[in-house]
Chains A and B, each alone.
Chain A
Amino acid sequence: MKKHLLMSVMLAAMLAACSSKPVKTTSAPEVEDKSMGTESAAAPTDEGSASTAGVAGSDMSGNPLTDPNSILSKRSIYFDFDKDDIKPEFRALIEAHAKYLASHSNAKVTLQGNTDDAGTREYNLALGQRRAVAVKNALNVLGVQDSQIETVSYGEEKAKSCAGDIKCGELDRRVDIIYAGE
């Protein structure tokens, strides 16, 4: 997995360069890195067993969830300051994940809400949750079952230290989609 990461980063960067959308696509591998890298060994086994069993059909071409050519490899939805409404540019991403989840009933996702570091930790935890719930509601509308989704929040705990600089916290205000077993 890790060997492919560098490749993914490069591909994602190339894609980003080609696509009309700037900046944010490049951060998808960065988010994957966070979720897969450090403490995955300590992850509870019951979650691990759910894994990516539902990938049948994608056989030779690999897992669409991690294929940088697939929109499913894009996992972050970004928000405006103090907002939880989903911006139009993330609609396609959410629709793709909704379709995947609807057709892979064994697949489960954690929607992990995040905020910038302005304000207090517990209130930011609640704000991150509000964003995770907004993405969940969007997935529900597109037919995804509650049993496939857990919404959690890291609040500002993963945020860069921005000393309250709104521009700096841009990439911190996001929801990450993490599939069980990743």
Chain B
Amino acid sequence: MMNLRIFLPLAFLLLPLTSRAALTIEIVGGAAQQIPIAIVPFAQPANPQALGQQQAISDVIAADLRRSGLFRVLETRGIANQPHDVSEVRYPEWASLQAQALTIGKVENLPGNQLKVSFRLLDVLRQNQLTGLEYTIAPAQLRLTAHRIADVIYEKLTGEPGVFSTRITYVTKAGKRYSLQVADADGFNPQSVVASNEPIISPSWSPDGTRLAYVSFERKKPVVYVQSLVSGKRYVLANYKGNNSAPSWAPDGNKLALVLTHDRNSQLYIINADGTGLRPLSQSSRIDTEPFWSADGQWIYFTSDRGGSPQIYRISPSGGDAQRVTYEGSYNVSPRISPDGKSMAFISRGQGGFRVALQDLTTGQVQILSDGPQDESPSFAPNGRLILYATTVRGKGTLAAVSADGRVKQRLSETTGNVREPAWGPAVK
């Protein structure tokens, strides 16, 4: 009957389930070909208190799919028959709506204040089931479960993993107060990880999504911290003389690349995740900064002005000679490598100011993806399809995302304060 049973025991995902969104998302543009899908409102249990103020699960799924730009979510209210089980589905009705796919499901009470969420994804034309899953969850996990269902639908219909159940981090500045926040990828459930009256920059996710490395100026200089998102505890990763900045986790999660200065210009180092084993990676008299580890662990990309202007280079984590990667233009910084290793997002200064660019690492071809004029901090979604970045609209920092093909653009704006320094977290299974 049910293909699979999924439990979601991860303690750190048990976020308080307020339906408050700090970030509201506005979508600009869309894919040329969108998949038409109908999502029938899920059957709900009779006692509404178990669900509290929550948004209907089908609305969360619909918003996720719509936001990706790859789906056209159809209006279902005109259909008299609203099925919750396969036996109730009358396919011709959905075919007449031009739906290619149909999602149905229900939420049921279980003993011990648990919920059972089940859904099915149906192919309207072939009149068969594409997938069906059942989740046993605490009521607080309902929203996350909706994101996971959206991920399953997305993957089934596009062939790529969804990223709706992932999280993002960013820094807000309200008045003099800086706060490092972690929120769901749709901007809901924002939580402050650390707050300070001094700047916080450069958050970097550990590959397992349980820790953040970041730079805080609370000691009147840049110092790198690592903080657990499970316990909230943190430790100083690097506080050497001069600056400590630009942390980037190695894909193995055991070490980080970072930048130290001591008495000199910014230089690349590698350090164990517990703060031991510091070793220099490159030594030059010029600036070397913004290291970023490729997902296969083979390269550390970084920014250097060794050639006169800031350009992107790469070096083996074991050292050796650096290879230049960017050639067009006089200011190319902030390299971020796509999860599949095939392309690099970075910030390039050109006619339109500072904009997000994408370079094909095989052909060297560069495409400008964003509008500028003050874009920074690009980061790939774990499926590589979207790039999240910081931008400025009328003097106010906001977040935006653009699809790697440049077609779909989203703007995430916060009602209070400035938002900057975003980083998209990993997909956590």
Chain A interface (Cβ < 8 Å from any Cβ of B) = 38-39, 42-44, 110, 117-123, 125-127, 129-130, 133, 136, 146, 149-155, 157, 161, 163-164
Contact = CB atoms under 8 A, between A and B. Distances in A.
B321 interface: no
A129 B265 contact: yes
Contact of B221 (A117, A133, A152): A152
Contacts of A119: 331, 333, 349, 354, 376
A44 B219 CA distance: 8
A78 B264 CA distance: 19
A163 B354 CA distance: 11
26 contacts: A39-B197, A110-B220, A119-B349, A120-B333, A122-B201, A122-B246, A123-B290, A123-B334, A125-B201, A125-B246, A125-B266, A125-B289, A126-B259, A126-B266, A126-B287, A129-B287, A130-B265, A136-B263, A150-B263, A151-B261, A152-B243, A153-B261, A154-B199, A157-B217, A163-B373, A163-B374
A157 B287 contact: no
A122 B290 contact: yes
B353 A164 contact: yes
B347 interface: yes
B108 interface: no
A36 B162 CA distance: 50
B265 A157 contact: no
B303 interface: yes
A149 B353 CA distance: 36
B243 A153 contact: yes
A121 B287 contact: no
Given A39-B220, A129-B265, A130-B287, 8 more contacts: A43-B220, A120-B347, A122-B334, A123-B334, A133-B261, A150-B241, A150-B263, A164-B373
Interface in B298-350: 303, 310, 331, 333-334, 347, 349
Contacts of A126: 259, 265-266, 287, 289, 303
Nearest to A47: B220
A152 B201 CA distance: 15
A43 B220 CA distance: 8
B354 A121 contact: no
A97 to B, nearest CB: 17
Contacts of B261: 129, 133, 151-153
Interface in B199-236: 199, 201-202, 217-222
B302 to A, nearest CB: 10
Contacts of A38: 176, 197
Given A152-B242, A163-B373, A133 B263 contact: yes
Q: What's the dominant secondary structure at chain A's contact region? A: mixed
Q: Give 8 nearest A-B pairs by CB, closest first.
A: A126-B266, A157-B199, A152-B221, A126-B287, A126-B289, A120-B376, A123-B333, A122-B290
A120 B377 contact: yes
A25 B202 CA distance: 34
Contacts of A153: 222, 243, 261
A153 B266 CA distance: 10
B304 to A, nearest CB: 9
Contacts of A42: 218
B266 A129 contact: yes
A154 to B, nearest CB: 7
A42 B216 CA distance: 14
B243 A125 contact: yes
A117 B24 CA distance: 26
B392 interface: yes
Given A120-B376, A126-B259, A163 B395 contact: yes
Contact of A122 (B176, B197, B202, B392): B202
Contacts of B246: 122, 125
A160 to B, nearest CB: 11
A39 B287 CA distance: 30
A122 B245 contact: yes
Contacts of B198: 39
Contacts of B373: 163-164
Contact of A133 (B264, B331, B420): B264
A88 to B, nearest CB: 23
A157 B201 contact: yes
B123 interface: no
Interface in B371-410: 373-374, 376-377, 392, 395
Contacts of A161: 395
A177 B110 CA distance: 66
Contacts of B222: 125, 152-153
A157 B421 CA distance: 12
Contacts of B263: 133, 136, 146, 149-151
A133 B265 contact: yes
A168 to B, nearest CB: 12
A149 B242 CA distance: 10
A34 to B, nearest CB: 11
A150 B266 CA distance: 14
B202 A121 contact: yes
A119 B290 CA distance: 13
Contacts of B353: 164
B313 to A, nearest CB: 13
B374 A164 contact: yes
A16 to B, nearest CB: 28
